[in-house]
Structure 1
Amino acid sequence: MPFTLATWNINSVRLREALVLRFLEAEGPDILCLQECKSPVEKIPREGFAALGYPHMIARGQKGYNGVAILSKRPIAEVGANDHVDLGHARHIAGRLENGVVIHNYYVPAGGDKPDREVNVKFGQKLDYLTAMRDAFHAERPERAILVGDLNIAPREDDVWSHKQLLKVVSHTPVEVAHLAETQEAGGWVDVTRADIPEGQLYSWWSYRSPDWDAADKGRRLDHVWATPDIAGAAHSSRILREVRGWEGPSDHAPVMATFDL
């Protein structure tokens, strides 16, 4: 039975509850994975989501920072939450659907401003987090699984507005791209979005610092949908809902969607 999945860094689920409700009403994905919820689990506004047909939720949260949640129309059972490199951050939640598919929802550390772990602890944490993800997938290679989330890296040259100008900017540096590639390879993950949309500039994030983000269009593709090879061929209809970035009081990320015939 097909299902549609969306991933969205909401940048505060309580502050932007109305936007989540609007999105669920307009698009009606079967599953919505949220990152940067910035809320303890017990304070996530579940009632409104349930009223729209999303009674199931698994989540990890913390006050004011990080946080991941999966809202679902279908039953979903929590099967794990990794605290990679023991940061004490709510950055991962995994759930299994009744059809056996496991969904991993990740919020990879952003990495701060300077791409140098010697002067920027946050950059080192980001690289170490990706290494821990890689090692976890080496230790237990995933099957019938989907990985989504804000991975905070735009890997391809056409995933950023200017490859040359962003080579030394956190999110597109060669060392980050290499770490992400190792993580992807370790799990055999297929980049579903780029399998569907192989050519052309593609972004899911535009900075708040740009007063006219739409016209300037200095975006990056930081949000991803991956799948293991055994189910990647069932994915189709990938899209990024750029128009949501233009809603009033938006997140700086746009939702990324894909449908799976499983």
Structure 2
Amino acid sequence: MSFTLATWNINSVRLREPIVLKLLEEEAPDVLCLQECKSPVEKIPTEGFAALGYTHVIARGQKGYNGVAIFSKMPIEDVGDKDFAGLGHARHVAGRLENGVTVHNFYVPAGGDKPDREVNEKFGQKLDYLTEMRDWFSAERPEKSILVGDLNIAPREDDVWNHKQLLKVVSHTPIEVQHLAETQEAGGWIDITRQDIPEGQLYSWWSYRARDWDAADKGRRLDHVWATPDISNAGHSSRVLRAARGWEKPSDHAPVFASFDL
């Protein structure tokens, strides 16, 4: 069984329904995981997606914030969610495909502006969220699983446009990178994107603040595709669809793709 999976922080699925449909029409991934849907589940616009063959939907939502959803052409079973750090946010959902692969879709907290939990509660929440992810993976030790989503951390020096300038900027600080590394190690997760594209600058997010995001190219790789070691060798064809950042009324994130032969 071969399938292609995409992950995308859409920054409001209702507002950006047209570009989600564009992605599904032009790229046709078998599974699409969205984050920051910003919608109650019952108000997610599923009709257009279903018309394109995405008839299987698993979602967790809330009004105006957060929200995660999995759209699939293939049957997928809802296997639950976790409220890491007790935030009461819709930030995780998991589904199991018929081949036994579990797909975890995550939206890790962004962490606010100041990388100091003493003055910025959101930064503390982000670190606590990652710590609880780490502890869960350590206890459960996932198998035959794929983890995708906006993890809101660019871990490598070549995952940001300027490593030195961003060392004190939330998403690339050493403490965040360490927390993400511990979470990854606890589950034995393999970074599929970097397994396929081991060298060079690679980004999936460009700020709305840039006048010309494409020319400035001050990006960060915040969106990730990981897999457990038992299926990581089946992953291939990773790419970031950079062009989507330039579509009409875009998200500030671009979709990240990977394919698996299982």
State the SS of the aligned residue for 1:254.
Answer: coil
Aligned equivalent of 1:138: 138
Counterpart position of 2:204: 204
Equivalent residue, structure 1, for 2:31? 31
Partner of 1:5: 5
Letter in 2 for 1:191: D
Query: After superposition, what is the alpha-carbon deviation per residue over 1:75-127, rounded to whole angstroms, capped at 9, x for unaligned?
Result: 10011200001100000000000000000000000000000000000000000
Structure 2 equivalent of residue 254 of structure 1: 254
Unaligned runs of 5+ in 2: none
Distance across 1 between alignment mates of 2:22 and 2:243: 13
Deviation of the 1:138 alpha carbon: 0.6
* Alpha-carbon distance in 1 for matches of 2:187, 2:257: 21
Q: 1:102-181 maps to which residues of 2 (within 5 A)?
A: 102-181=102-181
Matched pairs, number: 262
> Does the residue aligned with 2:79 lie in a helix, a strand or coil?
strand
> 1:197-236 to 2 correspondence within 5 Å?
197-236=197-236
1:242 aligns with 2:258: no
Q: In 2, Cα distance between the equivalents of 1:86 and 1:114?
A: 22
SS of 2:21's partner is: helix
1:78-93 equivalence runs, <5 A: 78-93=78-93
Please report the TM-score for the alignment, with normalisation by the length of structure 2.
1.00
Question: 1 CA distance for matches of 2:25 and 2:62?
Answer: 27
Q: Secondary structure at the match of 1:80?
A: coil
What SS does the corresponding residue of 2:96 show, helix, strand or coil?
A: strand
TM-aligned CA deviation for residue 6 of structure 1: 0.1
Question: Quick one: distance in 1 between partners of 2:85 and 2:112?
Answer: 17
How many angstroms does 1:69 deviate by?
A: 0.1
Deviations 1:211-256 (A, max 9, x none): 1000000000000000000000000000000000000100000000
- State the distance in 2 between where 1:45 and 1:209 align: 28
Over the residues paired in the alignment, what is the CA RMSD in angstroms? 0.3
Q: Which position in structure 2 is the counterpart of 1:64? A: 64
Query: Structure 2 CA distance, aligned partners of 1:64 and 1:140?
Result: 32
Following the alignment from structure 2 to structure 1, what is the Cα–Cα distance between the partners of residues 168 and 212?
Answer: 24
Aligned to 1:182: 182
Structure 2 letter corresponding to 1:85: A
Counterpart of 1:192, as a letter, is I
Alignment partners' CA distance in 1, 2:176 and 2:80: 25
Q: Secondary structure at the match of 2:14?
A: coil
Q: CA deviation at 1:201?
A: 0.1
Hey, what's the Cα distance between the residues in 1 that align with 2:85 and 2:126?
10
Partners of 2:120 and 2:112 in 1: CA distance = 7
- Structure 1 stretches (4+) deviating beyond 6 angstroms? none
Letter in 1 for 2:51: A
1:61 positional shift: 0.1
d(CA) in 2 for partners of 1:115, 1:198? 28
Question: In the alignment, residue 12 of structure 1 is paired with which amino acid?
Answer: S
TM-score by length of 1: 1.00
Aligned counterparts of 1:89 and 1:25: Cα–Cα separation in 2: 31
The 3-state SS of whatever aligns with 1:210 is: coil
Partners of 2:79 and 2:182 lie apart in 1 by 24
Distance 1:158 1:103 in 2: 27
